[in-house]
Structure 1
Amino acid sequence: MTDQPLRTLLCYGNNQNFFDLPRAEIGPVWEATQALLSQLKGLDGLEIIGTFDDDAHMVGPSSGWPWTFYVLADARGQAVVQEACGLLRSVMVGEHALWRYFKVEARMGRELTIRDDVEA
């Protein structure tokens, strides 16, 4: 066991429900997505390292790789990763939870360090 944080990649994918929305109804989903990201940033035990949006080169539903967007973070443990994933259940878009429009999968591991004392 180590005290090192879990390097975590949260992978989010739009599903067909998102693409079935009329253009005028996409705004509330975007606002809810911003709320999700703000809540992630505020989670105790989760430090966001960076984000990556793949929407310029990936269009359409994401049921797996490639995902729509990613959040790379260090997590204190699996419980906070579970809490991060669970935000799709509690962030609302009108009467529906955000998971109506997105799915999330988390990949957890350890930081891969690049050593300076090894020659190429």
Structure 2
Amino acid sequence: MSTPTPQMRALFCIGINQNFFDAPPDEAKAVWLACGELFNGIAELPGVTVLGNIDDDLSMVGPSTSWPWTCYILANVPDIQTVHAACNLLRTVVVGEGPYKLWKYAKIEARVGRELVVPPSLKKPA
């Protein structure tokens, strides 16, 4: 009997850039709707389980050029190809009627690892 391969965990770090802040209200609204399509698109990828998200907009104001990011999505993913597919959504999600894709207004970076679990042998006896 083989041991099942542990599932990967990905932290998708999403940063909004200056193009969003320079956009007129109608365009900014279209970007927000495209972000919803991105978030749903990640959740709908085969084998993905979104564990949670964080919006850092109260303590991080303005464009995100690096850490801290604007928002984060933590998810279990089946493989690295799924992580790549999630990141690629920024290249394919159209903002409004186009011609721009979401990556004009935002960027994404993924950190990939495994769930951190303390081995039972290291736990303090009850």
Distance in 2, matches of 1:3 and 1:50, equals 23
What CA RMSD, in Å, does the superposition of the two structures yield over aligned residues? 1.7
Q: Where do 4+ consecutive residues of structure 1 move more than 2 Å?
A: 114-119
Please tell me whether residue 100 in structure 1 is matched to residue 104 in structure 2. yes
Distance in 2, matches of 1:80 and 1:24, equals 32
Matches for 1:25-64 after TM superposition, within 5 Å: 25-64=27-66
How many residues align? The count is 119
Distance in 1, matches of 2:31 and 2:49, equals 24
Q: Structure 2: which 5+ runs fail to align?
A: none
Distance in 2, matches of 1:81 and 1:45, equals 11
Distance in 2, matches of 1:15 and 1:91, equals 16
- Point out the structure with max Rg over C-alpha: 2
Report the residue type matching 1:96 in the other structure: Y
1:90 equivalent in structure 2: 92
Provide the secondary structure at the position in 2 that maps to 1:50. Answer: strand
Which of 80, 83, 88 is residue 81 of structure 1 equivalent to? 83
- Normalised TM-score (structure 2): 0.88
Provide the secondary structure at the position in 2 that maps to 1:92. Answer: coil
- Going by fraction, where is strand more abundant, 1 or 2? 1
The CA deviation string for residues 41-71 of structure 1, in whole angstroms up to 9 with x for no partner, is: 1100211110100011111110110000000
The offset of 1:86, in angstroms, is 0.2
